[in-house]
Chain A
Amino acid sequence: KAGVTQTPRYLIKTRGQQVTLSCSPISGHRSVSWYQQTPGQGLQFLFEYFSETQRNKGNFPGRFSGRQFSNSRSEMNVSTLELGDSALYLCASSSQGEGYTFGSGTRLTVV
């Protein structure tokens, strides 16, 4: 079956702009999580959605937001981009009782 699909794969944005990243989970998975990965901090949890509801949120500023649609697809948005937002953004989906399956990520560079 198809894995977790993230688009776009690469993105370059300017400071102050906003960006929207997309994630299509594995068919049948209702839980979608987002993570930020940087060399210094490693993988850090952003938020998790289940059936269109945000169930958990990590310790990130309000500039980071997300949503989930009725078909379980999810988007995350970062407004007023800062240089420090440059990272690999990973989406993962899960079914009850299973571990998370990650996508290949979107590499965001803020210049």
Chain B
Amino acid sequence: QKEVEQDPGPLSVPEGAIVSLNCTYSNSAFQYFMWYRQYSRKGPELLMYTYSSGNKEDGRFTAQVDKSSKYISLFIRDSQPSDSATYLCARARNSGYALNFGKGTSLLVTP
């Protein structure tokens, strides 16, 4: 079983839509959860960083962690064509330790 499962997509939505991206993971001994955005031929860019369960909001982005269900979500409100990228979820046992990544979900926001 893969440690972090993520639907590869592609996911195509119209501009202005609310986007929901999800990951599931095995082994609950992880405390730190992150979402990264990666444009083609670039390195991943940190979007959200959360500790344990709960929600975190930053502008149009909301990250949600449900440790009881082992489920991580990223919501993007008012999606823009510039949001078109691959979104990667990641987890770590502890701050500064190795990240386990999902394979990424490709998102396309059409004007």
Contact = CB atoms under 8 A, between A and B. Distances in A.
The answer to whether A and B belong to the same complex is yes
Contacts of A48: 96-98
B45 A100 contact: no
The prevalent SS among residues of A at the interface is strand
Nearest to A41: B103
A65 interface: no
Contact of A45 (B32, B42, B98, B102): B98
Contacts of A96: 95-96
Contacts of B21: none
Interface residues of B, number: 22
B85 to A, nearest CB: 14
B102 A90 contact: no
B49 A43 contact: no
Contact of B44 (A45, A56, A90, A97): A90
Interface of B: 32, 34, 36, 41-46, 49, 88, 90, 95-104
Given A42-B104, A43-B44, A56-B97, 20 more contacts: A4-B43, A35-B101, A42-B102, A42-B103, A43-B101, A44-B101, A45-B98, A45-B99, A45-B100, A48-B97, A50-B96, A55-B96, A56-B98, A100-B46, A101-B46, A102-B43, A102-B44, A103-B43, A104-B42, A105-B42
23 contacts: A33-B99, A35-B101, A42-B88, A42-B101, A42-B103, A43-B88, A43-B99, A43-B101, A44-B101, A45-B99, A50-B96, A56-B97, A56-B98, A90-B44, A94-B95, A94-B96, A96-B96, A97-B95, A99-B46, A101-B46, A102-B46, A104-B42, A104-B43
